[in-house]
C-alpha cells in the first residue's frame, strides 16, 4: 500500500480545522498543501486550493498574487488582471503605493489599450 501524498494529508487536516471553526489553522494547512501541489506540478489543483483559501481569508494578498501567476501560466490574462487589480486596491488602501503601482503596471502590460488602467496608474502617480 502506497503512503498518502503529503498534500492530501494537509488538505484533510485543514478540513478538520475548518470543522472546528479554526480558520487560521485551516488556512495554514491549505497553504502547505498548495505548496506541495505546486512542487509536484499539480498547478490546477493548487489554484483550486488557493481559491479555497481566499474564500476563507480574503485579505491574503500573497495568495492572490500566487493565483494571478497561475492564471498567467494557464493563459487566463483576464483573471490575472482581476486578481492584480484587487491586490493593488488593497495595497493602495494600506498605503503601500509603490506595490500598488507595480501591480497596475502589470495589468497595463496585459492590456495596453485599456484606458481605465492607464488612468488608474496616472492617478496613483499624481496622488501619491
pLDDT in tens, 55-110: 999 889 899 988 888 877 766 677 777 788 888 888 888 988 888 888 888 877 77
Q: What is the pTM of this model?
A: 0.63
Find out whether 103 and 121 touch, Cβ atoms under 8 Å: no
Identify the residue with better confidence: 43 or 49: 49
Nearest to 70 by CA among 100, 104, 39, 46: 46
Structural domain contains residue 5: yes
Structural domain contains residue 30: yes
Per-residue pLDDT at 7: 92
54 and 23 belong to one structural domain:
yes
Find out whether 61 and 90 touch, Cβ atoms under 8 Å: yes
51 and 100 belong to one structural domain:
no
Domain interval for residue 45: 1-58
Q: Within a 13 Å sphere around the CA of 108, how many CA atoms are in the beta-carbon half?
A: 15
31 and 83 belong to one structural domain:
no
Q: How many domains does the chain have?
A: 2
Amino acid at each position: 500500500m502506497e503512503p498518502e501524498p503529503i498534500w492530501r494529508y494537509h488538505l484533510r487536516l485543514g478540513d478538520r480545522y475548518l470543522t472546528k471553526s479554526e480558520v487560521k489553522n485551516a488556512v495554514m494547512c491549505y497553504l502547505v498543501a498548495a505548496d506541495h501541489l505546486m512542487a509536484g506540478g499539480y498547478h490546477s489543483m493548487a489554484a483550486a486550493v488557493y481559491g479555497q483559501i481566499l474564500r476563507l481569508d480574503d485579505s491574503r494578498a500573497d495568495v492572490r498574487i500566487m493565483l494571478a501567476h497561475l492564471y498567467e501560466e494557464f493563459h487566463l490574462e483576464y483573471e490575472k488582471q482581476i486578481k492584480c487589480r484587487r491586490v493593488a486596491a488593497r495595497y493602495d488602501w494600506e498605503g503601500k503605493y509603490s506595490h500598488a503601482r507595480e501591480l497596475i503596471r502589470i495589468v497595463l502590460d496585459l492590456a495596453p489599450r485599456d484606458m481605465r488602467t492607464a488612468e488608474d496608474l496616472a492617478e496613483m502617480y499624481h496622488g501619491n
